[in-house]
Structure 1
Amino acid sequence: MIDLEDKIKNTNAIKHFSPEQNLFYQNLNIKHKELMLQAIKESMKHQFQHNIGNIIALARGALEKLNEEFIKITRVLCLTEKPNNILMWAHYASSHTGFVVEFDQENGFFKQSRSLKDEYGYLRKVKYHHHIPQIDPLSENISEHYLIKSDEWKYEQEWRMFAIEKDSSVKKTINNNVYDLYTLPPSTIKRIILGCQATEGFKDLMSNTLRKDIKYSHVILNKARRSNSKFEIEIDTL
């Protein structure tokens, strides 16, 4: 709660004066103005310390409500920087039998923010911390809360993009869970990399799919393989 106390110390109390209070203040000399502001801030600090339990409870409740509302209206696209990360292949590509899609991060689809305060429609890098950072409920950058993970996940090198739930193209229900699907412009896709354990049948299916649709004719098809000399994934052109 130190940040809240600092905010009180740095509060511009004058802008909250009534017209009568402001007139009284303006007629004071410099020394008395300083004494008046000091007294006001001491009173605010006393009120803060006296009510700190209620303030913490209110802040916690506000953050929980914010979290509920954010999850209700927001969907998150999660991406990684490296296509040859062994752990990412194992965890998210069916143990190397699936595939990786490489996107063009310069594509306009990933730069849809409408203003500097917009939280949606653009890529942002996830930050990794050993300690849980304090969240200031009065901050305008509250969305940063959703861009923080334990440094145990640092290997993922994750980027996120927030999307609005109502903008999804299709809703699918699987095992009583509702999933929102979004349409990605074909121009966003640069490359598809098949896993080390991908079957020949799957390779042919993917190759034919890309060839048959002119919208995907620019997409490069690669295949991953395990290095013979290192614990690494190498990527070959097909």
Structure 2
Amino acid sequence: MLYKYVGNIDDDKVIEYLDAFVNKGTIYASRTLDFNDPAELKLIFNFDAEFEIIKKRFHLDCPRRTEYDFRKWYERFDKNSKWLIKYNMREHTLTTKGIVCLTRDYDNYLMWSHYANSHTGFCIGFDSVFTHSIEDRGLEGEVVYVDTYPRFNYYTDSSQEYLNCTYLHKGMPWAYENEYRVITEGCGIKRFDKSLIKEITLGCRASFKLQDYASKLIDKGIDVYKMALDRDSYRLKRVPVKKGEYFQGDT
């Protein structure tokens, strides 16, 4: 299963988001520039390579250029030139792709706090294969959490290695998210197969209004739960929702 936490200060907005998932089959691919991590997608570039490898890459990038063109370019290939390559590649990754952020955990206390508006929103669960149905899907995979920026050699590493280093690495402080990512062409609303929605879990502080809406989805074959505080520990437990029955999960 894969999960996505959703929340908003406006209860009607939360219901609108849930409706978009369940009835419209749409999910939002976020723009990286809007993320809360300033180090998102950062790399350490390396330009060390044999002369012939550098020349081969030049002619691949500029197939109509001559040997003379390469020599003139190579003479001017300095620190500023390397900075420009890094800048252009980073700008491309930041502005042309979208990211659908998911997780493997439905009961992560911090995720409920940070991404479901302090436990008032919901966590929607999908069959794992649902990612294959996301519109404009490209790269996808588990995020690797590291202490230092990933390293990428512009001349000797593959384009696939560049994508993996860029999109599937984050700093160790974010490891609690246990994130799974889907990278899309462009950001914004993306369609997916809504039949692959399997469950919805409401936060322990979710309103009765949200519970009323969610409980109607039981008739669609979707399991609906609500979180509740464990009596003896700082943990959450999940309780099945029944139509017309209400409880406060934070008491």
TM-score normalised by L of structure 2: 0.61
- SS in structure 1 of the partner of residue 148 of structure 2: coil
Distance 1:150 1:225, change over 3 A: same
Taking the aligned partners of 2:45 and 2:119, their CA distance within structure 1 comes to 48
Q: Distance in 1 between matches of 2:89 and 2:171?
A: 21
Could you say which residue in structure 1 is the equivalent of 2:210? Answer: 202
Q: Percent identity?
A: 23
| Matched residue, 1:161 | 182
Give 3-state SS (helix, strand or coil) of 2:205's partner: coil
Which residue in the other structure is 1:183 paired with? 191
1:58 pairs, out of 78, 81, 106, with: 81
1:3-14 maps to which residues of 2 (within 5 A)?
4-5=47-48, 7-8=49-50
For structure 2, list consecutive stretches of 5 or more residues without a partner in the other structure: 1-43, 57-73, 242-251
Q: Determine the structure 1 residue equivalent to 2:90.
A: 67
- For residues 98 and 12 of structure 1, the distance between their equivalents in structure 2, rounded to whole angstroms, comes to 52
Distance of 1:106 and 1:12 partners within structure 2: 40
CA contact (8 A) 2:121 2:203 kept: yes
- Could you say which structure has the greater relative contact order, defined with CA pairs below 8 angstroms and 6 or more residues apart? 2
Shift of the alpha carbon at 1:147?
1.7
- Distance of 1:197 and 1:122 partners within structure 2: 35
C-alpha distance 13-209 of structure 1, shift in aligned 2 (>3 A) = closer
CA RMSD, 1 decimal: 3.2
Q: CA deviation at 1:75?
A: 0.7
Whichever residue aligns with residue 156 of structure 1, its letter is E
Number of the residue aligned with 2:120: 97
- Cα deviation for residue 82 of structure 1 reads 0.6
Report the counterpart of residue 225 of structure 1 in structure 2. Answer: 228
Structure 1 match to 2:106: 83
Q: Please name the residue that 2:40 is paired with.
A: none
Larger radius of gyration: 1
Q: How many residues align structurally?
A: 180
Distance 1:105 1:4, change over 3 A: same
Matched, 1:134 2:165: no
Identify which of 150, 153, 161 aligns with 2:171: 150
1:34 corresponds to:
none
* Aligned partners of 2:215 and 2:224 also within 8 Å: yes
What residue in structure 1 maps to residue 247 of structure 2? none
Distance 1:235 1:111 in 2: 28
Kindly state the Cα deviation for residue 123 of structure 1 after the two structures are TM-superposed: 2.8
Relative to structure 1, the CA distance from residue 74 to residue 235 in structure 2 (aligned partners, 3 Å threshold; closer, same or farther) is same
Equivalence for 1:124: 141
Higher helix share: 1
Aligned AA (2:98): R
Gaps of 5+ in 1: 15-47, 114-119, 169-179, 212-216
Q: Deviations over 1:71-117 (max 9, x none)?
A: 3221110011110000000000010010001111123635889xxxx
CA pair 137-234 structure 1, distance change in 2 beyond 3 A: same
Using the TM superposition, give the Cα deviation of residue 58 of structure 1 relative to its aligned residue in structure 2, in angstroms: 2.4
Normalised to the residue count of structure 1, the TM-score between the two structures is 0.64
CA distance in 2, matches of 1:4, 1:122: 25
Once the two structures are superposed, residues 40-87 of structure 1 have per-residue CA deviations (whole angstroms, 9 ceiling, x without a partner) of xxxxxxxx9x98xx4443233212212212232211100111100000
